Structure 1
């Protein structure tokens, strides 16, 4: 192409591209793949998630379409066909899973509560039973807010509840009698951002009681590559809504300690929030955890409030649940646990980049003298 442009001019090159489907489709596929690469870094995905998702689908479709024409009559087209078949099978499988989990005698619904600090607590009442493990996440679809987009969220809580929350209520139909008295619920904690989460927060805020119930679909669960069961000492650091990832671990380890099924003998949860109002995000979950058998023997909770309105807001409920103003000294907290360490120590962090960096540096220094494993959960998709 370059020699042709040198011998004639770029006008000839343009005519060649326009007259040759092999050339312009190859160039189009290349441009689409370059665009996919340029818009895929994590900062872009995090800041413009919906734009990323939509553009990703469009660019991928353009690249596949161009390649299909570009490879006409060539043996390499068989590889493209294989890729398309695999993609179609993956999409069909996901669609089947979504349909199976969200349609039964009833359908999945989402109750969205607007919380202080631009957060939402979303409770999904599933159409079928699900089984979750700590650290897993789901993809959430709410057609009334975003018809064909899904968003990944960590599962903060799951339990089986009575289908008829009003104990005086009677079943209204034959379907109520068949469905039985219990239903699986999944709870998420979501921070208001832009796009989907902003629209959802506004709808909940404008509803009666700051609560709204919508039709929803959940896909998953995915993840859970980390387990803390084998560590004698466990420290969990969370920043803001990062607590969602840690609550299931706390619940699982406390229950395992009481039943003798995990190695954990010391469990410390450090949660950093801006205001005491943010405690409302997980109050019902934490109330259940604090009522668990033998909780006081293993669990210690440390709450750090970075922007208290006054010192009267900072009150420690008990010796095992303490509240402090300001930011924590990570090195001091980890050092205290190392001095009383039982067995191997696992440190799990879920928060912003600054918190993760601080905890990582401290753990790296401690690894020279003791057995400390550092596990970081990404705060963004």
Structure 2
């Protein structure tokens, strides 16, 4: 059990880990019962069983309370899957929280924890990176438009949340699918404190990833207090993206999105789309898209700490190297600034 519980095993073969963990736990409990039976340690055995049973019963109750016949709307964008679920009983999630989803057509006994991007109109919005397990299986049931529906159970929300609104300056950093955790905080902070300085950096390989959180980005773009910079590091078709994806993404009137390739900045007003789904709003976008460039998060943190009028919070969700750079920069600035500097991280792992 110790070998197959290692992080590498759980990360790459989660379904196998789950089945083996359950199958091996049963004989372990039986053998442990006979092993300690005559030595006066039974009270510890039954105490452990009671804790385990309470956890199982509590989780089953949460599933039943959230609804055993909930419908999920599933759509695929590139290598990620968007899942929208409306539970029977709605709990308002806090930023940074997650929920377990059971897809009934694919091994209903398996549950997968996914970060909640936001709660909108009584529905939970998730974005899930496609791997070899559950999300790959869901792709097989897509229709011609790349969408499908599925019966699911939902359990949650769980997890802790950081009170980012207490800080004077907030720097949110996301790498790839890490935008799910970061976007939840950005949406929560939007419009809360007009004096708060909020900066969001998102690093992606392809501009198609915009579609993962298109509606949320449009909401953020309408809030000028949040400075959003998106770094597209891969070989994306920037010309096509400028003409099409930005116009599909953002509200369709009075848009001034800044698109950068390397060091050359090109202010471009994108023409209105006749068939845009978000067509009746009027904003000036705060999105800054930079192509073929990687962020220097260390320099950004240095600048924010030096120019902040108060406490600084850095929240990172992304690859290990990105988190290491953010952490090192925070440590470096603790002794350089008279203000408080806090670092928070969501690693998307159980290690």
TM over 0.5: yes
Correspondence list, 1:1-381, <5 A: 36-103=1-68, 107-116=69-78, 118-160=79-121, 184-204=122-142, 207-257=143-193, 265-291=196-222, 295-296=223-224, 298-310=225-237, 312=239, 313=241, 316=259, 320-325=286-291, 326-370=293-337, 371-381=340-350
Cα shift readout 1:214-238 (whole Å, capped 9, x = no counterpart): 1111111111242212110000000
C-alpha separation in 2, matches of 1:233 and 1:137: 25
The gaps in structure 2 that reach 5 residues or longer are 243-257, 260-267, 269-283
C-alpha separation in 1, matches of 2:125 and 2:56: 26
Q: CA deviation at 1:96?
A: 1.0
The residue number in structure 2 matching 1:177 is none
Cα shift readout 1:28-83 (whole Å, capped 9, x = no counterpart): xxxxxxxx222323232212222222222222212101112223344212321222
Alignment check: 8 A CA contact 2:171 2:313 kept = yes
The gaps in structure 1 that reach 5 residues or longer are 1-35, 161-183, 259-263
C-alpha separation in 2, matches of 1:198 and 1:157: 23
Alignment check: 8 A CA contact 1:330 1:359 kept = yes
TM-score, with structure 1 as normaliser: 0.76
Q: CA deviation at 1:378?
A: 1.0
Alignment check: 8 A CA contact 2:67 2:154 kept = yes
Q: Which has the higher helix share?
A: 1
Cα gap change, 1:74/1:121 in structure 2, threshold over 3 Å: closer, same or farther? Answer: same
C-alpha separation in 1, matches of 2:82 and 2:52: 34
The structure whose Rg is larger is: 1
Cα gap change, 1:321/1:122 in structure 2, threshold over 3 Å: closer, same or farther? Answer: same
The residue number in structure 1 matching 2:247 is none
Q: Secondary structure, in 3 states, of the residue corresponding to 2:191?
A: helix
Alignment check: 8 A CA contact 1:115 1:281 kept = yes
Q: Secondary structure, in 3 states, of the residue corresponding to 1:203?
A: coil
Q: CA deviation at 1:311?
A: 5.0
TM-score, with structure 2 as normaliser: 0.83
